[in-house]
Amino acid sequence: MEAVDNMIDARWLITSEHKNTVLENHALVIKNGIIKDILPTQQAITLYQTKNIEEYANHVILPGFINTHTHIAMNLFRGYADDLALMKWLNDFIWPAERRWVSHEFVYDASRLAIAEMIRSGTTCFNDMYFFLQATAEAVDQAGVRASIGITAIDFPTAWAKTIDEYLEKGLEFYAQYKNHARIRTTLAPQSIYTVAEPNLEKIKKIAEDNHLRINIHLHETQDEINQSLAQTKQRPIRRLQNIGLLTPDLIAVHMVHVNEEDLEILKATRPQIVHCPESNMKLASGACPVVTYQNLGLNVALGTDGAASNNDLDMITEMRSANFLAKLTTHNPAALPAIDTITMATLNGAKALGIDQMTGSLTKGKAADFIAIKLDEIETLPLYHPASQIVYAASRNQVSDVWVAGKQLMKNRELLTLNEEEIKAKAIEWEKKLLKKS
């Protein structure tokens, strides 16, 4: 018998591979942080030896969620400015608050708060776009999760940098420091086409090509963004990005709410990654991303929460539910976006968007042991006929019991193992008092 580190014995197992078949009474075999095998439990017991058998008799095991668009340090602005249109929210509240408060300390404390929330709701990897990248990376290192951290670039000064060259210089220093890190990746993250001039987007494109980095950008989020672009250039943002050469499979296009037939033809030809942020788009009244249309074009569509200042949580389970219901509502088709496909959006599709699907995003032999357990024998999720449907339509994040990344357990029976919950809460309350005092 071969010795292994852990054996996870599960009542149900959702792989996010091979049409997302739900396996029953199977085991996940883990060795050196990698999935060694997936097979029926009784067979696993005869082939592998371990002192660490974890039994999940009433749980479903599935890949950890990948939150493909976040601004996690904005957790400390949760509830700070609600019920506003996007540009008023940004111009009158968020950007002034960021200029006053954002610092290394702010981002570190906010990142730990956000990562704790994400672990408690089953997220094992996130794709971020913010400032003071080192602070976020320190929090990621401490927590043990995976992250793709974006080099934010914008044409106006912030607390982190004053010019586009300073943003990029600081960002490339960060990339050089972390490019060999096992769990931290880097992207380039121009904020949008209305806050980054085209010559600077071309500069970002060159850096991305030279360093083989993906690019994140908010794109076609609101009708105002498109109207402004038409007024200034007589072209829609998607066409402008295509002209620059940015619209490729290495571009992560976030939101993608408003598109016409011309846009769809360009997308079909260029095949960027799409990130759907349903709850933020609904809260800011931006509109609904046409997910089913993109899927019918063969585009990869992942799922993100956006920041907690515009959502107001980092809960991928409710994000799946919102995405699912929006797809059915906007297409007038109750069969649109089945629950099992929504889970794939929140797992493997996120990994594909980030270019890390060879290592995570699904439960597959040879991939990292990044997985979560959701307890389904609660009042709210009984009776149980289909585990995938129950997760998307009935479960809550409070039913996520255990979280593992690279074979290391980060949460056990709802207890955080790598972060100090009381310390994190105390820091959040300190920041609340500071912001209330100066508001």
Which CATH number do you get for residue 336?
A: 3.20.20.140
Judged against a pLDDT cut of 80, whether residue 19 lies above it is answered with no
Report residue 219 as tokens. 């794109």
Report residue 301 as tokens. 């569509």
Which CATH number do you get for residue 46?
A: 2.30.40.10
Q: Are residues 171 and 249 both part of a single domain?
A: yes
- Give the model's confidence band at 18: pLDDT under 50 very low, under 70 low, under 90 confident, else very high: confident
pTM across the whole model:
0.97
In which residue are the tokens 């109750």 written?
Answer: 334
Q: Are residues 41 and 88 both part of a single domain?
A: no
Q: Are residues 107 and 251 both part of a single domain?
A: yes
Q: Write the pLDDT tens digit of every residue in 178-207.
A: 999 999 999 999 999 999 999 999 999 999
In which residue are the tokens 């290391």 written?
Answer: 408
User: How far apart (Å, rounded) are the C-alpha atoms in residues 314 and 68?
Assistant: 11
Q: For residue 93, is it within any domain?
A: yes
Give CA 277 to chain center in angstroms: 10
Put residue 369 in one of left, alpha, beta given phi > 0 → left and psi -120 to 50 → alpha. Answer: beta
Q: Write the pLDDT tens digit of every residue in 317-360.
A: 999 999 999 999 999 999 999 999 999 999 999 999 999 999 99
Q: For residue 262, is it within any domain?
A: yes
- The pLDDT of 400-429, averaged and rounded, is 98
- Lowest average pLDDT, out of 77-81, 222-226, 239-243, 413-417, goes to 77-81
- pLDDT reported for residue 390: 97
Q: Are residues 170 and 182 both part of a single domain?
A: yes
- pLDDT reported for residue 62: 97
Q: For residue 413, is it within any domain?
A: no
Name the domain boundary from 354, 381, 396. Answer: 354
- pLDDT reported for residue 9: 97
Q: Are residues 117 and 162 both part of a single domain?
A: yes
- pLDDT reported for residue 438: 64
Mean pLDDT of the chain: 96
- pLDDT reported for residue 413: 98
Q: Are residues 148 and 224 both part of a single domain?
A: yes
Q: Are residues 100 and 177 both part of a single domain?
A: yes
Return the C-alpha torsion angle 417, 403, 325, 21, nearest 10. 180
Q: For residue 411, is it within any domain?
A: no
Beta pairing, strands 6-14 & 22-31: antiparallel
Based on the structure, what is the number of domains in the chain?
2
Q: For residue 383, is it within any domain?
A: yes
Q: Are residues 88 and 56 both part of a single domain?
A: no
Q: For residue 234, is it within any domain?
A: yes
Q: Are residues 245 and 96 both part of a single domain?
A: yes
406, burial (CB in 10 Å: exposed 0-12, middle 13-18, buried 19+): buried
Residue 106's identity, in one-letter code, is F
User: How far apart (Å, rounded) are the C-alpha atoms in residues 138 and 207?
Assistant: 24
Judged against a pLDDT cut of 80, whether residue 133 lies above it is answered with yes
Q: Are residues 60 and 121 both part of a single domain?
A: no
- The pLDDT of 17-34, averaged and rounded, is 90
Q: Are residues 91 and 114 both part of a single domain?
A: yes
- The pLDDT of 383-411, averaged and rounded, is 97
Q: For residue 302, is it within any domain?
A: yes
Judged against a pLDDT cut of 70, whether residue 439 lies above it is answered with no
- pLDDT reported for residue 85: 82
Q: Are residues 290 and 345 both part of a single domain?
A: yes
Q: For residue 438, is it within any domain?
A: no
For the chain, give the percent of residues with pLDDT over 90. 92
Domain limits for position 143: 65-354
Do 67 and 125 form a contact (C-beta atoms < 8 A)?
yes
- Lowest average pLDDT, out of 82-91, 131-140, 270-279, goes to 82-91
Residue 56: which residues within 8 A CB-CB, separation 6 or more? Answer: 8, 9, 10, 11, 373, 402
